[in-house]
Structures are given as C-alpha cells and as structure tokens.
C-alpha cells in the first residue's frame, strides 16, 4: 500500500487529515453489539424470534447511525 493511503470510515483510500483524531471505538462497539445479539442462537442455528429481532434492530440501527455520523464528522442523520 502506498504511504498516505488507507481505508477510513468514509470508505476512501485517500488519507483525510480531518480523520486523524477519529475514534473508531463507537463503530467497533456497535459492530460488537450486533455480533453479540443472540450470538448463541445464531451460532447453534436455533430459532430467533422475528419480532424481537426487528425491534432490537430498529433500536440498534439508530445507535449505529449515530456512531457512523460521529466517525465521519457528520452530525446530520444519514
């Protein structure tokens, strides 16, 4: 990889100096939360209640949206 090129939360390969101090922790946290939701049931191929999953996802989506917006410095809704 060439110096100054990397993948940012904006999915760009060009280095963005405004992202130098970005904290990836909120993004990592929402990903870990999604991977952990009913993890045992998914791992063992057990049923997951659809209504519960939809309700959880609706709330999680708001948290994920906020984490992404914060990571890219865009406080408006995505």
- Identify the pLDDT of residue 77: 54
- Identify the pLDDT of residue 2: 41
Residue with the larger pLDDT of the pair 74 and 43: 43
- Identify the pLDDT of residue 76: 58
Q: Quick one: pLDDT band at residue 69, thresholds 50, 70, 90?
A: confident
pLDDT tens for each residue of 19-65: 556 677 889 999 999 999 999 999 999 999 999 999 999 999 999 99
Nearest by Cα to 26 from 9, 13, 49: 9
| In 15-71, alpha helices (H) | 25-36, 39-43, 50-71
Give CA–CA dist 16/18, Å, rounded. Answer: 5
SS3 6: coil
Q: CB neighbours (10 Å) of residue 67?
A: 21
pTM of the model: 0.65
């Amino acid at each position: 990889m060439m110096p100054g090129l990397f993948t940012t939360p904006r999915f760009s390969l060009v280095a963005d100096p405004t992202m130098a101090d970005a904290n990836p922790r909120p993004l990592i946290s929402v990903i870990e939360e999604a991977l952990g939701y009913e993890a045992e049931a998914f791992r063992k191929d057990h049923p997951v209640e659809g209504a519960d999953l939809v309700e959880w996802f609706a709330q999680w989506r708001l948290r994920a949206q906020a984490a992404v917006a914060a990571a890219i410095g865009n406080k408006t809704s995505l």
